[in-house]
Amino acid sequence: MAPTDRRATAGSRIRLGLIGDNIKRSRSPDLHRLAGRLCGLDVSYDLFVPRDMGKSFDAAFEACRDSGVHGVNVTYPYKEIAVAKAVVGDDATRRIGAINTVVFEAAGPLGHNTDHSGFIAAYRDLFGAMQPGKVALIGAGGVGKAVAFGLAALGAETLTIVDVDKAKAGALARSIAAVHGDAIATMISDDVRATVPGADGIVNCTPLGMIGQPGSAVPADLLGPQRWAFEAVYTPVDTLFKKTAEAAGLKVLSGYELFFHQGVDAFRIFTGQAPTDLSELRRLLAETPTH
């Protein structure tokens, strides 16, 4: 995913934002403002909640574009809808069918998916060269699509996509097969209990666990035989799924790590720059009070 051609220069003012529901406690404003400070840029970052604006997603998106916002991140539940609003320059993102980063260029909005690149970076950062093995991925929505392609790129042996909407799960499985062929076996299911016990890794890409949607997509009694888990939700970081997976002995990749890595990738796309010291960005984020 190449960064925008427009490299921001020192002192430049960059207006960014996030479009989504239930985003009041998002750390994205902090991450991008701090990254801007480390790069010598004056970055503002605002939250845009369509229903609070009295607008549809399309109208909120267009309001951002027309008001001079340089770029926006897009989060739940609009990542798949946003694809129709932007030109997607690479085939991999087109096949994923969801975007989370949009740059408003003179020629029109350009769409990217940093959930995909961010997941791969976060996985390697925590697990190193460990192979994903047999994976049960729960949730075939916007983030689920990006993570599924990431797991295929990481060399997962098999991927079972679990979703109550089997048509959606099937469409994702076919998209992965079109890119990766026989390199990964893909299956679909609508039954968590039939799928999770035999997996090496469990991935939650549903909104269950986030603020306003309590619970877990995986019953605690199914956890234990697996090696690892990934929780896509990061507000809060310590979801019920994350805590029960850790208590069962699994090594858990948190949604915060996806948030961090996809955010760095998005910032690079927005500005053409990135902080050279990511540990310093992590430190500053940890020291910044949450909303």
Residues with a known catalytic role: 78
CA atoms lying within 13 Å on the CB side of residue 41: 25
- Residues of 77-100 as b/e, b for ≥16 C-beta within 10 angstroms? ebbbbbbebbebeeeebebbbbbb
Helix, strand, coil tally for the chain in percent (to 5) = 45, 20, 40
Sequence-distant contacts of 165-168: CB under 8 A, at least 24 apart: 165/140, 166/190, 168/140, 168/141
Helix (H/G/I), strand (E/B), else coil: 164 = coil
Measured CA to CA, the distance from residue 100 to residue 75 in angstroms comes to: 6
Q: Helix 142-153 to helix 166-180 angle, to the nearest 10 degrees? A: 30
Q: Which residue type occupies 240?
A: L
Contact predicate 16/72, CB 8 Å: yes
